[in-house]
Amino acid sequence: MSGPTLPHLGEGLEPTLREDLAAVTELVPLDEGGGATALKVFLLAELILNRDLSRIVEIGVYRGRLFLPLARLMFWLQRGEMVGIDPWSAEAAVQHEAALPGIDLVEWPATIDWAGMHADVQRHIERLGIGERARLIPQRSEDVDLAAEFGDAPIDLLHIDGNHDREAVRQDLDRFLPYMREGSILVMDDIGWPSVRNIYEEVATEHQVLFRITEGSVLLTPTSGGNDFAVLELRPKSTGRT
């Protein structure tokens, strides 16, 4: 499938590392439930390297197309951790406001083997030998005890890609931002979705947008694995730490 030509990003990565991260990303299939592109993996990997980020947290792991390569990176770096939060349940995956052409996000979750998907992510972690730096929290983001999990050190990079309904996205921001610091990186996925767009625009007025990538085809072909995300650097307002 031909799409818009994107700048050749990720070239700041050492070639062996870049190839390794691409290979780990490709272990995980893309499907209608989503999944990160190699471009996104490379961009975030560069930020983690260049800014010495240590604690990386993802809300919404799904099959692990972002979680696994970034956990692999933390393993290579021998620092910090990659934490993935996902309940892997049909009930949690129901989304009422988020809508994609060709997929009913109320009906679709019941067709997925969520327990099998969780087990597959765990199996990949074991096979890749990265368990020392990879941690899964099989809960909804709203149920995680943040003080217990992240009270000891700030989250350096947060990827919000869980439930895309308006209230869920807002709640993720309200709950997690106090556990980040000034200068932490916030990645919001699917900023073109109507339920996410306004919240993203609000956040973008309070924090520094480093870049955003939205491909025109994203909303038309959900299985194309297109990019639709923004990367922001947190300003002091609404963070709990300095």
Ligand X SMILES: C[S@@+](CC[C@H](N)C(=O)[O-])C[C@H]1O[C@@H](n2cnc3c(N)ncnc32)[C@H](O)[C@@H]1O
For strand 180-189 and strand 155-160, is the pairing parallel, antiparallel, or unpaired? parallel
To ligand X, the closest distance from the beta carbon of 122 in angstroms equals: 14
60 binds ligand X (CB under 6 A): yes
For ligand X, the binding residue among 141, 195, 227, 239 (CB under 6 A) is: 141
Q: Rounded distance, CA 140 to CA 193, Å?
A: 21
Assign residue 204 a region (left: φ > 0; alpha: ψ between -120 and 50; beta: otherwise). alpha
In the complex with ligand X, the residue whose CB is nearer, 60 or 154, is 60
In the complex with ligand X, the residue whose CB is nearer, 58 or 215, is 58
To ligand X, the closest distance from the beta carbon of 209 in angstroms equals: 20
In the complex with ligand X, the residue whose CB is nearer, 85 or 218, is 85
Stretch that binds ligand X, among 7-15, 58-66, 69-77, 230-238 (CB under 6 A): 58-66
Q: Rounded distance, CA 236 to CA 141, Å?
A: 23
Q: Rounded distance, CA 71 to CA 63, Å?
A: 13
Bridge partners (DSSP) of residue 106 are none
To ligand X, the closest distance from the beta carbon of 63 in angstroms equals: 6
Phi and psi at residue 20, in whole multiples of 5°? Answer: -65, -45
To ligand X, the closest distance from the beta carbon of 61 in angstroms equals: 6
In the complex with ligand X, the residue whose CB is nearer, 133 or 140, is 140
Tokens 């073109």 belong to: 192
222 binds ligand X (CB under 6 A): no
93 binds ligand X (CB under 6 A): yes
165 binds ligand X (CB under 6 A): no
156 binds ligand X (CB under 6 A): no
Phi and psi at residue 180, in whole multiples of 5°? Answer: -110, 175
Give the burial class of 124: count Cβ atoms within 10 A of its Cβ; 0-12 exposed, 13-18 middle, 19 or more buried. Answer: buried
Asked if 63 and 34 touch (Cβ cutoff 8 Å), the reply is no
124 binds ligand X (CB under 6 A): no
Which residues make up the interface to ligand X (CB under 6 A)?
33-36, 58-62, 65-66, 85-88, 92-93, 140-142, 161-163, 168
